[in-house]
Structure 1
């Protein structure tokens, strides 16, 4: 190639990619809408959080007292039909307790008066009709603190599927409404992003344990599963 033509060839080679990019088709117009769906199901699993707190002059004595009380609770749960897989220690805490007195110089003097031991047990109850009975039995055996009760579903997949269908239908209806208002029509679906929200547990305060009677009234109600989807549609 003659030397005089070499700069022109190089310039053309550099310019060609720019022409190729300019020729690329523009992405089709699109719209992103969100849809929500909700479905409910009766729970089939109850989860209890039961705690035994014992106090003594020494940590050893407090731990022994807590161990004895919790062992009785675990034995009662097993005798009521709760399987080993549904019993789990949720925590063990040993804390000193101090009394503080004010001194004449304005400082405080700490005096160790006792040790507190708290042992927590998580119990999954698959026959939720027995929840009140088991709670009463646990309190009778020495449970004096608790995180609460929650009701859930062991397999919520069918309920979530129903909620997802409702969420997608809601998104499609919104997209058609918006497109019609803009004078266009909805095309194919380009993307769907799923965001499901689990139901919140239903708490029961520790004060409820103090007033537990022969049969603690427990109502499981229903769990509501909410799903939100973000759907991207092509516009025509």
Structure 2
């Protein structure tokens, strides 16, 4: 009777425990050798998007004069970009600034001698072959603070998936190599983890800062971009 009572009490106490405390998960050790491989896969694409930073810097004796001159020249730059077929959604003001210009002399407090106005515009376009022409147009229309183009891939998702597939294939091939060298075989993959994927750093074809507006013939060659993916794969060898 006492034994039955103790058993019932133990069962009642167990049922009162949280589900997580009652659950017992056995640890299963693999019957074989574990092999961890890190591999990088890649895919290439021709850049289909160019980004240019185009700006105008002007200086005048007064703040109002500096801003007025800057606005007039920037209006010419924007009009030229629109005439070149750049869509409104691809024109974005990046920075507008106005700062005093100082003259510094020994043992004297700084003296304001004028003001400098700056307006910077981010320009995106998908006809990469027009990069050189657009750069030259910007300079001819008064842009005197220009950098780029930065060439990239607008939608790299498909290429990134190719890179992932390439990375797993490389990991598998390396695992097969190690298995043969050890007199074993690859039984199966236990886990796959991605540690990084993306487009390689943007190609900056040129950095331009021109203060003269002579005609030019700038050439921009798109080349290829590399998209990469890194994976860590755990294999079971037997």
Evaluate the alpha carbon distance shift between residue 2 and residue 164 of structure 1 in structure 2; reply closer, same or farther with a 3 A threshold.
closer
Matched with 2:116 is 116
Counterparts in 2 of 1:225 and 1:211: CA distance versus 1, 3 Å: farther
Corresponding residue SS for 2:68: helix
Residue pair 1:149, 1:201 contacting (<8 A) in 2 also: no
2:39–2:170 contact (8 Å) kept in structure 1: yes
Equivalent-residue separation in structure 2 for 1:51 and 1:152 (angstroms): 21
Distance 1:160 1:26 in 2: 35
Deviations 1:45-101 (A, max 9, x none): 111111110111222211111111111111111111111011111111211111111
* Matching residue of 1:200: 201
Alignment of 1:1-236 (within 5 A): 1-2=1-2, 24-28=26-30, 30-103=34-107, 108-194=108-194, 195-203=196-204, 204-207=206-209, 213-236=215-238
CA distance in 1 between counterparts of 2:169 and 2:106 reads: 68
Aligned equivalents of 2:38, 2:215: Cα separation in 1: 48
Contact 1:51 1:146 in 2 (8 A): yes
Q: Which moved more, 1:179-188 or 1:77-86?
A: 179-188
Whether the 8 Å contact between 1:150 and 1:201 is mirrored in structure 2 is yes
- Could you say if the C-alpha distance between residues 37 and 213 of structure 1 is closer, same or farther in structure 2, counting changes exceeding 3 Å? farther
Task: Give how far 1:214 is off.
Answer: 2.9
Secondary structure (helix, strand or coil) at the match of 1:70 reads helix
> Judging changes above 3 Å, is the alpha-carbon distance between structure 1 residues 208 and 176 closer, same or farther for their aligned structure 2 residues?
farther
Deviations 1:3-22 (A, max 9, x none): 9x959x86xx99xxxxx96x
Contact 1:48 1:149 in 2 (8 A): yes
How many pairs are equivalent?
Answer: 228
Alignment CA distance shift 1:43-1:89 (3 Å): same
User: TM-score, normalised to structure 2's length?
Assistant: 0.82
The 1:62–1:152 alpha-carbon spacing in structure 2 relative to 1, beyond 3 Å, is same
What are the superposed Cα offsets for residues 197-225 of structure 1, whole Å, 9 maximum, x if unpaired? 31222222234676874321211111111
SS in 2 for 1:219: coil
SS at structure 2 position matched to 1:142 = coil
